Structure 1
């Protein structure tokens, strides 16, 4: 029993480290991609950056939730923070859906092709390498800790990886052929998957009841 508790404490610490790394990197993504998107008028880059904002928020919430358990919080407090963490992750998915739709519709209305930014391309290429490692770490410790919020956060990071590929393709088509519509279409291709994960995360958040901690097993 003591050995299992020690293993869980070790997994909690590692889970926190993964989320801290995610928080720091996503702040970098936000600063670079949103700035580049605003300067070039790229709906896809801005949407990608907004998703990074949501990921950073999720990471911060999960750090708060995991540290409570790591520091020996009572079961009710752990369940409360679990519910909050799941709710934040669920809300994050829906915010991304709304932001992508807004940016895409705005791009269709303006009908203007985005400009080119080496900074935007650079952060996208770096993310192609970094995000799979972050997603792997989140899923690994989410599974070991039995944490749906961590596993959903891993899915959000994979969404970001998929979005990165789509945004790069959209920007390449825009620059190569002048297809102004490729940029907003690239953004819209992400919406169905994000909405589905948002629905699943919402269901899990609603299913958590902190009062369960006080009921007999």
Structure 2
């Protein structure tokens, strides 16, 4: 049986909680703007990919809002299960939408026209989202918050969609390859489905926080180090 986790210090936990709240706020604000721009540009260009990207932004807002709701309470862990359910459902919704829109495009949906706004938005999101995802994942792992880590995966998935959207719009504009985007998007849908399943089961991996340094550490240099807890999920790893 694994030994109990040694909790973070009160000050460090407060810092990490504030950091997650800030990152979630930035994520919500950016995705609201992204959704408005993508849906408007997608409607104007007749682009299913752009409209799907805008809907993904709305789903990302719901996921981040679930994390914000969790950390707004005094006991964030008491709200964790509900927040995880909301994030999992958002993954399922994203997978469903991308799958349906991809098959519609492959089976003769309306061909999208060139969209400079769409290309610019995809490139900007590809630059912004990885940093947000990394910062939230790092803070979430140290705080041992499954919801923060799960939401960081949602943000990372948005990064993949940004890349797919950018490639699809570029190939469509340059070569008229209308099939490139929906084929790649189907792979993203499969990833979203897996992440939703793992999140629903509570298998989002977190690295347990390191033991706090004891005031007597310097007095007993030859004492054995405290036992650490190893996460059982294969995707777990050290906080980098």
C-alpha root-mean-square deviation of aligned residues, in Å?
A: 1.9
Please tell me whether the aligned partners of residues 111 and 178 of structure 2 are also in contact (alpha carbons under 8 angstroms). yes
Tell me what 1:17 maps to.
Answer: 22
Pair 50,2 (structure 1): closer, same or farther in 2 beyond 3 Å: closer
What runs of 5+ residues in structure 2 fail to find an aligned partner? 1-5, 204-240
Pair 42,172 (structure 1): closer, same or farther in 2 beyond 3 Å: same
Please tell me whether the aligned partners of residues 116 and 175 of structure 1 are also in contact (alpha carbons under 8 angstroms). yes
Q: Could you tell me which of 65, 69, 90 is aligned with 2:70?
A: 65
- Alignment deviations for residues 153-188 of structure 1 (CA, whole Å, 9 cap, x no partner): 111111111111111111111111212222322322
| 1:80 CA drift (Å) | 3.7
Please tell me whether the aligned partners of residues 113 and 179 of structure 1 are also in contact (alpha carbons under 8 angstroms). no
Tell me what 1:154 maps to.
Answer: 152
Tell me what 1:176 maps to.
Answer: 174
For residues 97 and 2 of structure 1, the distance between their equivalents in structure 2, rounded to whole angstroms, comes to 36
For the residue of structure 2 that corresponds to 1:204, the secondary structure is coil
Q: Matched residue pairs, number?
A: 198
For the residue of structure 1 that corresponds to 2:163, the secondary structure is helix
Q: Could you tell me which of 88, 107, 125 is aligned with 1:127?
A: 125
Does 2:28 match 1:30? no
Tell me what 2:52 maps to.
Answer: 47
Please tell me whether the aligned partners of residues 168 and 178 of structure 2 are also in contact (alpha carbons under 8 angstroms). no
- Which runs of structure 1 show a deviation greater than 6 angstroms over 4 or more consecutive aligned residues? none
For residues 61 and 153 of structure 2, the distance between their equivalents in structure 1, rounded to whole angstroms, comes to 14
| 1:111 CA drift (Å) | 3.9
Bigger helix fraction = 1
Please tell me whether the aligned partners of residues 129 and 155 of structure 2 are also in contact (alpha carbons under 8 angstroms). yes
Please tell me whether the aligned partners of residues 111 and 181 of structure 1 are also in contact (alpha carbons under 8 angstroms). no
Please tell me whether the aligned partners of residues 89 and 201 of structure 1 are also in contact (alpha carbons under 8 angstroms). yes
| 1:203 CA drift (Å) | 0.4
Tell me what 2:207 maps to.
Answer: none
For residues 177 and 8 of structure 2, the distance between their equivalents in structure 1, rounded to whole angstroms, comes to 59
Please tell me whether the aligned partners of residues 91 and 192 of structure 2 are also in contact (alpha carbons under 8 angstroms). yes
| 1:2 CA drift (Å) | 11
For residues 25 and 53 of structure 1, the distance between their equivalents in structure 2, rounded to whole angstroms, comes to 11
Q: Could you tell me which of 192, 195, 201 is aligned with 1:194?
A: 192
Does 2:142 match 1:144? yes
